[in-house]
Amino acid sequence: MSNSKLDRRLFMKGAGAAAFLTSAASLPAVSVSAKGMGHMSMSMAYDLNEEFNRIGSGDFKWDMIRKNARPYDVPFPMGVADMDFRTMPQITAALQSRLNHHNWGYEAPPADYKQNIVNWNKRRYDQDVDPSTIENCIGVLDGVSSALRTVCDPGDKVILHTPNYSSFFSVIPGALCELAESDLVIDDDGNYDFDYDDTERLLKDGAKAIILCNPQNPTGNCWTADQLRKLGDLANQYNALMIADEIHCDFINKNAEYVPYALLGEAYAMNSITLKSTSKSFNLAAHRTGYMFTDNKELLSRIKKIGNHNRFLLNTMGIIASNAAYKHGETYMDDMQAYMDGNAKFLEKFCKEEMKDVKYKVHEGTYLAWLDCKAVAKKLGDPEGDDRVGDMLKKFFIQKAGVNINPGENYGRTGVGYMRMNLGTTHRKLHGALNSMKAAIDAI
């Protein structure tokens, strides 16, 4: 198959999409044990197999791709990093209760909000967070921007180990800083590590901060305590602030471990700030709330003076939703972890047995899969014009499989040939997407 047959408008013809929608709708219910979905020790308190319809809500993941795709369709949108499940009922109940009071004047956060953050981090990770050091931020990215503006002067370099979350590539210049990209190194088994020599070179060159993604988006890597200490020792030696984005920490697959950076020891905690949110764990991104904390109260005081992104009063409904999540979300999060672990194991098994041109090993954290699609790209040939390899692969999977996944180059120069797939969906949709991808690859 020639790449020239890929429609330059990016998307699949409507007739083909209708066929994919029909085939997806007719997929049989997948038995977890029979289909190899992996270890599933779910309480089943929440029906995560429900096919919840998001179309028409105005969301990025489904409605935006459908709008941009016209006259084509994408029955399997697996790009934007949010989830397809119904919101935890305790969250909806808390929001509905507040809606029933028909006045929207100034309002403080719930009295137990910070304590529920403290309790969650203690129960889940045995991490003691001083409630007096917790500050609200509109979201993790806005908190990162505030931290950068506090410790960096315009033009200062900020180290980002790539592949890494795509939005950091705009947040760093948005804070008037310069990106210092350092490639992660990968071994033959697909395990990532930092390039410590290259990191030290950039620190010697004057970098003032390191953005740590822990667990790593998009690779799904959970950094070990030894890896974090080696990186932290360099940051401390050269007086560069460690900004720890730990937003994905609640999604850890079986046999993996999340190590909070601030738990490494006092020297590391005092030269770092941690950012978290319920937006990933409980799918509350639309509510635009997050929080930051640090043992270094002097640093926190300086960050608070920035004033642009950190406020006591934030989105009232977002704070209420987050509070309910941390207060009632223990069982939900346990169920979700097991479900995502099952999705990851099924994907690995499918690639090994059915779709061998795509390489994947179960990731450790996040609900994002980092797919090695170099063999598919080779079959398709060189991209046309100014297209990147990832753009070519994106077009191929949309046009020929009805599956939207993200180009690896979005996450840095080492992402060429990779694609990021969001596993935050039902087993049935994942199975349908993989069957469609396999058929498209087999037809090349």
Bridge partners of 117, per DSSP, are none
Amino acid sitting at position 353 = E
Instruction: Find out whether 272 and 243 touch, Cβ atoms under 8 Å.
Output: yes
Residue range(s) occupied by CATH 3.40.640.10 in the chain: 104-328
Residues paired with 242 in a beta bridge: 210, 272
**Superfamily name with CATH number, domain 3-87+330-442:** Aspartate Aminotransferase, domain 1 (3.90.1150.10)
User: Is 104-328 a domain of CATH 3.30.1370.10?
Assistant: no
pLDDT, one tens digit for every residue, the chain (444 residues): 444 455 544 433 333 333 333 333 333 333 333 233 433 444 567 888 888 787 777 676 666 776 665 655 788 999 989 999 999 999 999 999 999 999 998 888 999 999 999 999 999 999 999 999 999 998 899 999 999 999 999 999 999 999 999 999 999 999 999 999 999 999 988 899 999 999 999 999 999 999 999 999 999 999 999 999 999 999 999 999 999 999 999 999 988 999 999 999 999 999 999 999 999 999 999 888 999 999 999 999 999 888 666 666 678 999 999 999 999 999 999 999 999 999 999 999 999 999 999 999 999 999 999 999 999 999 999 887 778 999 999 999 999 999 999 999 999 999 999 999 999 999 999 999 999 999 999 999
Range(s) of the chain covered by CATH 3.90.1150.10 = 3-87+330-442
Angle between helices 427-442 and 389-401 (to 10 degrees): 110
